[in-house]
Amino acid sequence: MTAMLEMRDVSKSFAGVQALRDVNFTVEAGQIHALVGENGAGKSTLMKVLSGVYPAGSYEGSILFDGEERRFRDINDSEALGIIIIHQELALIPLMSIAENIFLSRAPSRFGVIDRDAVYRRTAELLTQVGLRESPDTLVTDLGVGKQQLVEIAKALSKQVRLLILDEPTASLNEADSAALLDRLLAFRAQGIASILISHKLNEVARVADRITVLRDGRTVDSLDCRIEQVDEDRIIRSMVNRDLAHRFPERKVAIGDPAMTVENWSVYHPLHTGRQVIKNVDFKVRRGEVVGIAGLMGAGRTEFAMSLFGRAWGYNISGRISLDGRDANLASVPAAIHAGLAYVTEDRKQLGLLLADDVRKNVTLASLRQVSDRGVIDDVVELKAASDYRNRMRIRCSDVYQEAGQLSGGNQQKVVLSKWLMTDPQVLLLDEPTRGIDVGAKYEIYCIINELAEAGKGVVVISSEMPELLGICDRICVMNDGAFVGEFAKDDATQEKIMRAIMRNVRMSGTSAHGGEARAGDGAQ
């Protein structure tokens, strides 16, 4: 097939840090080319070079598109050729309609006036192409994340896309929405549209990719033609992390002790829709040295449950009893929860877990300022030492602790969030989607940290949408649906089939939709 895109010997550095080193990357017309690698391997940087976010002159090497060398000054230049990038953080305006989002800057017009009939008609055509049945007038805020992804793709189609770049498109989607999105990519391939898929989910990559390229430390280290070679996940992982992960989940010496946290008859109502009970009289327990998983569909109430425990950070009219180490605990506020020995790692590290514009040092010590202060004044030397210690302990890859958190890869950002809460010396740690959007190497390191916490006698609760992850790291798995626990399995007895059977049996009983959305801080599932 003809090479639509060729990137030759591309190198890019930031303040002395080499992000890309002589990368070569080719995409054929009508091909799905997957780009994989650890966080920080250079995937997003390479795509920003391609799309003109990093303009010509800021990098070395050359870009050829349709056989001609291109020097993009900005993203408008690349879009003019049909190269469209969809970032992991969607660029949609929630309180505007689908039609307004798609044609925000280039609406069809007649005599200088927006032609609303043409906008509506064209939007309806685009929505049909991406498999959405919503009205063009629907507000984006009323759509789930999966449908918002499809709106972004519809926007790309409106720009006559020829090469579609998707950065972690399924990171926040449930299995059904992920499958629908991948099916759409296959349909586009049949229409001659090429795609570059950046993903950490190797099973999804293997399903749709025609070719897989692996980056490590800013270099191209492997390329696999899926049309003539069988996809070998172990080979890809070895190429990504430069080591053999024979065991995806590290082994741990299990020594389970007395209850670290006991929750009884816990009930929570929605903070906005105050008549709606979200968490329904839940009983829950985690013991010292135990890792307990919470499984469930999106919208089951897992995040709401965890946040309501953590100093009542979410919810209204909360009732029930919590005891820590057998003693009643009054966790009426987040500071009270931290003081009592509870910590919560949010699922949304960018919005709720980090101050992206602040450096690693300030983020690590943020929840433990008393430890680095003297009579209310922060001791810079003590703070620097504490942050540096956690940087080394957690193997955070950054130039130094003065680097902005927003400049770090997803895996390293997650380690900074974990460092912040480990510095508080919690006795119970609630981890909400702790490995979402990070690569297999960083996942393994976080699993090791979870094991270290359990071996130190902490109680660890892991909320995850990835059932293999729960099965691999947890001693016990609780199944949640519609705000209640509907099943529980010991590690040796748990299987994906049993967990899904418990979920689906109760979905049918309650009428809960499998496509609902998990609540974020302060909004809840709508």
How does DSSP assign 24-44, residue by residue?
EEEEETT-EEEEE--TTSSHH
Distance CA 247, CA 66 (A): 43
Q: Is 505 domain-assigned? A: yes
Q: Is 264 domain-assigned? A: yes
Same domain, yes or no, for 103 and 212? yes
Distance CA 489, CA 21 (A): 48
For residue 244, what pLDDT is reported? 55
Same domain, yes or no, for 397 and 321? no
Q: Classify the phi-psi angles of 301: left when phi > 0, otherwise alpha if psi is within -120 to 50, otherwise beta.
A: left
Same domain, yes or no, for 262 and 399? no
What tokens does 180 get? 């629908």
Tell me how far CA of residue 336 lies from CA of 333, 340, 363, in angstroms.
5, 6, 20
Which residue from 12, 3, 105, 8 is spatially nearest to 54, judged by alpha carbons? 12
Q: Is 386 domain-assigned? A: yes
For residue 516, what pLDDT is reported? 36
CB contact at 8 A, 82 and 70: no
For residue 199, what pLDDT is reported? 86
The rounded Cα 351 to chain-centroid distance in angstroms is 12
Q: Is 346 domain-assigned? A: no
Same domain, yes or no, for 24 and 81? yes
Same domain, yes or no, for 417 and 442? no
Amino acid letter for position 157: L
Same domain, yes or no, for 407 and 358? yes
Contact partners, residue 469, CB within 8 Å, separation at least 6: 249, 435, 443, 462
For residue 130, what pLDDT is reported? 84
Task: Kindly tell me the sign of the dihedral angle through the C-alpha atoms of 413, 414, 420, 423.
Answer: negative
Same domain, yes or no, for 359 and 449? no
Q: Is 42 domain-assigned? A: yes
For residue 515, what pLDDT is reported? 35
Q: Is 347 domain-assigned? A: no
> Could you say which residues of the chain have pLDDT below 50?
508, 511-526
Q: Is 267 domain-assigned? A: yes
In b/e form, how buried is each residue of 89-122, taking b as 16+ CB within 10 angstroms? ebebeeeebbbbbbbeeebeeeeeeeeeeebbeb
Q: Which domain holds residue 478?
A: 254-341+426-526
- 11: CATH: 3.40.50.300
Distance CA 346, CA 311 (A): 13
Distance CA 235, CA 267 (A): 47
The number of domains in the chain is 3
Tell me how far CA of residue 49 lies from CA of 10, 144, 406, in angstroms.
9, 30, 19
Distance CA 71, CA 59 (A): 11
* DSSP state letters, 52-115: TSS-TTSSEEEEEETTEEE--SSHHHHHHTTEEEE-SS----TTSBHHHHHTSSS--EETTEE-
From 209, 241, 273, the end of a domain falls on: 241
CB contact at 8 A, 428 and 257: no
For residue 246, what pLDDT is reported? 54
Same domain, yes or no, for 158 and 61? yes
From 207, 241, 275, the end of a domain falls on: 241
Contact partners, residue 164, CB within 8 Å, separation at least 6: 84, 86, 153, 156, 185, 188, 193, 194, 195, 196
Residue 79, CB-side half-sphere exposure with 13 Å CA sphere: 13
Same domain, yes or no, for 294 and 335? yes
At which residue do the structure tokens 């020995």 appear? 341
* CB atoms inside a 10 Å sphere around CB 141: 13
Q: Is 247 domain-assigned? A: no
From 375, 407, 425, the end of a domain falls on: 425
Same domain, yes or no, for 378 and 493? no
CB contact at 8 A, 64 and 25: no
Burial status of residue 76 (CB atoms within 10 A of its CB: 0-12, 13-18, 19 or more): exposed
Write down the pTM of the prediction. Answer: 0.64
Same domain, yes or no, for 24 and 96? yes
Contact partners, residue 248, CB within 8 Å, separation at least 6: 440, 444, 468, 472
Same domain, yes or no, for 40 and 65? yes
